[in-house]
């Protein structure tokens, strides 16, 4: 039997003597080396649990290099459907000598640790449950190819985990078939590796009964997909025909996915493509092509991340002022500068809200789920043409690149909206009396024509310089003022067309939350924690777009305190909301999480309890920077009974 260390004070509970297991509620954290081939094994493990009917999510934390540095994959299974990040790790798999000590030291007492025998993790702490496995020895008979053996080693730990927590072997084999797309040779080799792990665990590792996976029926009809792929499918369904892009993490897979889907669906009967996808020389060129294609009448888009958005500023200003349609997906990552390319954040809000010099206001859509990535792909293309302007869609790395469970996407039934486009017949009826930048309907949106319209009155000058309603060059003060005032009116009109917020108002709730994007997953779970652990009901306002709608002011007005939770250092959205709500800004509080890891529920709950403890004081705490170190005299009394957590500190 393997040398397996079990701390005496926790052995009884973990091994199952007289204790009930925690069923379908655990987090598995796998530490490997980037480029080692562990991604396939981790996806198989996650999908196996999903196929057993248990809600699940997978988050990959990887370095911004090709190979050799540490990488982690976290699988959360939760019977109640909470699939946001959870800080606490229940089962740790240590396969990387570089991080083994740090990984083990970060665990809560009683956690399970599966580790490669040479790492000797059992010597680090004595309050964990260790399962030592000689992975190299188990992989040796699986293949004569040393490179293949290294890959198969990852599948051995899948088998070990399956046996320890109760994952059905048949579901693992089904997941393998999906992962390797029916390639029998690869499937057979990996099944042998999994079986080696299962048999070793049966023969050599003591049974644990603290965490178990059992069949349930909460995933029937669900799919697993990442946000970038969902956005790609939505864009193709919505009629995108021109895609121009420059590769950048974490957005590249969005346009790469469009290439795949377009090849499947956009080839005519003669074998010719009915789309154009161009990899540009840089992000500025990419967005320039998008706006040129939009001007010509094509539905066009690009995807990028924060550094690319910075480079696009000049052309975005042209698109706003000359009124050119196009869609820009910003898959946010940690900045500034190069920052942390493979970590998530919500730090581009200020940038996209008013990108360019001068007075600019951009329409921004903010999906929080893969379903909304699919839906907003079409909404963005419609809004770009309706409002003749660049439209931003703010996703993030967590949503874009990680695996999420979702209902299947509904086939779009709404007609494509092209906005105010004059036909040759309409031009004839107008007898040439139209102005490209004239507001004839009172909504700030002018009419346009498309190149190639067969009519002598169809032409006009597209201008990024000063112009009047007839598109003639002008430096007259009144012409300039009229133009930018009309653009502001157009932005106000957009309030009637952007996706409405999702508002959950609870009777008697004094506390309200505002959040957006992927923060919603942690926030909804935090609300559940506050309700079950403290008996505190809260309301929730989920923002889905800029400009703000009237519901925002109403929500703030009807609550005593409103906590705005976002994943950036400065509270960028909170500051925009302060400007919007005026005098009621005194009710606003900031909870900020910006470690590069997705926000988690417990962090929000702890922050709220900290701040609520000071609500009646003359100088209440208005800001908590989650997981930041304490500064000076920032000690705060907690609500009676609320535990002080070392990872949760306040900053004034």
Q: Are 130 and 121 in contact (CB under 8 A)?
A: yes
Evaluate whether residue 122 is within a structural domain.
yes
The answer to whether residues 300 and 190 belong to one domain is no
The number of C-alpha atoms within 13 Å of 556 and in the hemisphere containing its C-beta is 24
pLDDT at residue 432 in the model = 82
In three-state form (DSSP H/G/I as H, E/B as E, the rest C), the secondary structure along 68-136 is CCEEEEEEEEECCCCCCECCCCCEEEECCCCCHHHHHHCCCCCCEEEEEHHHCHHHCCCCCEEEEECHH
Evaluate whether residue 637 is within a structural domain.
no
In Å, what is the CA distance from 584 to each residue of 349, 548, 560, 588?
A: 22, 15, 10, 8
Q: Mean pLDDT over residues 517-545, rounded?
A: 98
Please give the tally of structural domains in the chain. Answer: 4
**CATH code for the domain of 394:** 3.40.50.970
- The separation between the first and the last C-alpha atoms of the chain, rounded to the nearest angstrom, is 55
pLDDT at residue 626 in the model = 83
Evaluate whether residue 647 is within a structural domain.
no
pLDDT at residue 13 in the model = 42
The answer to whether residues 469 and 549 belong to one domain is no
565-598, pLDDT tens digit by residue? 999 999 999 999 999 999 999 999 999 999 999 9
Strand partners, 267: 273
Q: Mean pLDDT over residues 502-529, rounded?
A: 98
537 pLDDT above the threshold of 50: yes
pLDDT at residue 634 in the model = 32
The answer to whether residues 474 and 549 belong to one domain is no
The answer to whether residues 237 and 182 belong to one domain is no
Choose between 215 and 185: higher pLDDT: 215
**CATH code for the domain of 79:** 3.40.920.10
Q: How far apart are CA 129 and CA 7, in angstroms?
A: 7
DSSP class of residue 473 equals B
Q: Which residue has the tokens 């949503």?
A: 399
The answer to whether residues 193 and 92 belong to one domain is yes
The closest alpha carbon to 396, from 375, 378, 370, 374, belongs to: 370
Find how far residue 82's CA is from the centre of its chain.
15
435 pLDDT above the threshold of 50: yes
The closest alpha carbon to 468, from 421, 435, 420, belongs to: 435
The answer to whether residues 363 and 507 belong to one domain is no
Q: How far apart are CA 57 and CA 636, in angstroms?
A: 35
The answer to whether residues 485 and 447 belong to one domain is yes
pLDDT at residue 476 in the model = 98
The closest alpha carbon to 164, from 71, 73, 93, 84, belongs to: 93
Residue ranges of E strands in 333-444: 363-365, 390-396, 403-406
The answer to whether residues 346 and 435 belong to one domain is no
The count of other CB atoms within 10 Å of the CB of residue 265 is 12
Q: Mean pLDDT over residues 197-201, rounded?
A: 97
65 pLDDT above the threshold of 80: no
Choose between 19 and 252: higher pLDDT: 252
The closest alpha carbon to 172, from 44, 281, 300, belongs to: 44
Q: Are 424 and 453 in contact (CB under 8 A)?
A: yes
pLDDT at residue 632 in the model = 30
**CATH code for the domain of 613:** 3.40.50.920
- Of the three residues 459, 494, 529, the one that is the final residue of a domain is 494
630 pLDDT above the threshold of 50: no
Evaluate whether residue 150 is within a structural domain.
yes
- Of the three residues 406, 439, 460, the one that is the final residue of a domain is 406
The count of other CB atoms within 10 Å of the CB of residue 356 is 18
pLDDT at residue 561 in the model = 98
Evaluate whether residue 633 is within a structural domain.
no
Mean pLDDT, the chain, rounded, equals 92
pLDDT at residue 1 in the model = 42
Q: Are 368 and 517 in contact (CB under 8 A)?
A: yes
In Å, what is the CA distance from 538 to each residue of 26, 215, 500, 608?
A: 26, 33, 20, 11
Q: Which residue has the tokens 């060129």?
A: 285
Give the SS3 label for residue 587: helix
The answer to whether residues 387 and 452 belong to one domain is no
Evaluate whether residue 556 is within a structural domain.
yes
pLDDT at residue 18 in the model = 54
377 pLDDT above the threshold of 70: yes
208-259, pLDDT tens digit by residue? 999 999 999 999 999 999 999 999 999 999 999 999 999 999 999 999 999 9
58-67, 223-232, 453-462, 498-507, range with the lowest pLDDT: 58-67
Q: Are 230 and 39 in contact (CB under 8 A)?
A: no
436 pLDDT tier (thresholds 50, 70, 90):
very high
Q: Mean pLDDT over residues 314-331, rounded?
A: 98
pLDDT at residue 66 in the model = 65
The answer to whether residues 316 and 206 belong to one domain is no
- Give residue 105's domain range: 8-212
Evaluate whether residue 161 is within a structural domain.
yes
The answer to whether residues 197 and 284 belong to one domain is no
The answer to whether residues 533 and 489 belong to one domain is no
pLDDT at residue 651 in the model = 35
Evaluate whether residue 635 is within a structural domain.
no
143-154, pLDDT tens digit by residue? 988 888 888 999
- Of the three residues 433, 460, 494, the one that is the final residue of a domain is 494
Instruction: Name the percent of the chain in helix, strand, coil, to the closest 5.
Output: 40, 20, 40
Choose between 634 and 270: higher pLDDT: 270
68 pLDDT tier (thresholds 50, 70, 90):
confident
pLDDT at residue 3 in the model = 47
């Amino acid at each position: 039997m393997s040398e397996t260390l079990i701390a005496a004070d926790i052995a009884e509970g973990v091994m199952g003597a007289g204790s009930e297991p925690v069923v379908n509620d655990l987090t598995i954290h796998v530490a490997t080396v980037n480029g080692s081939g562990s991604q396939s094994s981790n996806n198989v493990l996650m999908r196996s649990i999903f196929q057993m009917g248990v809600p699940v999510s997978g988050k990959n934390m990887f370095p911004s290099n090709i190979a050799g540095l540490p990488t982690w994959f976290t699988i959360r299974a939760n019977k109640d459907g909470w699939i946001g990040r959870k800080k606490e790790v229940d089962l740790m798999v240590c396969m990387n000598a570089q991080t083994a000590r740090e990984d083990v030291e970060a665990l809560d007492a009683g956690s399970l640790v599966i580790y490669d025998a040479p790492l000797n993790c059992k010597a680090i702490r004595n309050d964990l449950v260790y399962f030592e496995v000689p992975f190299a020895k188990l992989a040796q008979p699986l293949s004569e190819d040393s490179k293949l053996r290294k890959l198969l080693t990852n599948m051995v730990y899948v088998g070990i985990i399956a046996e320890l927590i109760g994952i059905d072997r048949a579901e693992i084999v089904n997941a393998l078939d999906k992962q390797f797309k029916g390639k029998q040779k690869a499937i057979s080799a990996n099944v042998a590796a999994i079986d080696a792990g299962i048999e070793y665990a049966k023969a050599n590792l003591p049974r644990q009964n603290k965490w178990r996976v059992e069949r349930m029926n909460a995933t029937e009809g669900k799919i697993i997909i990442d946000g970038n792929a969902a956005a790609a499918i939505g864009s193709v369904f919505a009629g995108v025909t021109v895609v121009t892009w420059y590769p950048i993490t974490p957005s590249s897979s969005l346009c790469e996915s469009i290439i795949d889907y377009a090849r499947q669906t956009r080839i005519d009967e003669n074998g010719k493509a009915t789309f154009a996808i161009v990899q540009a020389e840089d992000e500025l060129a990419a967005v320039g092509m998008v706006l040129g294609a939009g001007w010509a009448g094509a539905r066009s888009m690009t995807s990028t991340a924060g550094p690319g958005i910075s480079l696009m500023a000049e052309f975005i200003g042209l698109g706003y002022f000359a009124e050119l349609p196009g869609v820009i997906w910003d898959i946010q990552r940690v900045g500034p500068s190069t920052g942390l390319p493979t970590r998530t954040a919500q730090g581009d809000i200020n940038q996209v809200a008013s990108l360019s010099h001068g007075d600019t206001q951009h329409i921004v859509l903010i999906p929080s789920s893969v379903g909304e990535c699919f839906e907003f792909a079409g909404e963005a293309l419609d809004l770009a043409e309706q409002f003749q302007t660049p439209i931003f869609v703010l996703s993030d790395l967590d949503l874009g690149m990680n695996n999420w469970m979702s209902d299947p996407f509904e086939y779009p039934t709404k007609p494509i909206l092209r906005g105010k486009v004059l036909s040759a017949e309409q031009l004839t009826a107008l007898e040439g009396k139209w102005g490209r930048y004239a507001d004839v309907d009172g909504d700030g949106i002018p009419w346009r024509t498309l190149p190639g319209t067969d009519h002598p009155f169809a032409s006009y000058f597209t201008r990024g310089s000063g112009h009047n309603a007839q598109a003639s060059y002008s430096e007259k003060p009144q012409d300039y003022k009229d133009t930018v005032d009309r653009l502001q009116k157009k932005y106000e009109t957009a309030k009637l067309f952007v996706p409405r917020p999702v508002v959950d108002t609870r009777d008697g709730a004094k506390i309200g939350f505002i959040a957006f994007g992927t923060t919603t997953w942690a926030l909804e779970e935090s609300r559940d924690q506050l309700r079950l652990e403290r008996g505190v009901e809260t309301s929730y306002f989920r923002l889905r777009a800029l400009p703000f709608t009237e519901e925002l002011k109403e929500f703030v007005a009807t609550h005593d305190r409103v906590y705005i939770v976002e994943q950036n250092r400065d509270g960028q959205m909170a500051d925009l909301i302060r400007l919007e709500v005026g005098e009621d800004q005194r009710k606003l509080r900031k909870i900020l999480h910006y470690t590069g890891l997705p926000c988690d529920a417990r962090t929000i709950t702890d922050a709220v309890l900290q701040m609520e403890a000071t609500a009646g004081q003359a100088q209440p705490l208005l800001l908590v920077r989650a997981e930041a170190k304490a500064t000076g005299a920032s000690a705060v009394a907690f609500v009676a009974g609320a535990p002080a957590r070392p990872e949760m500190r306040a900053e004034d």
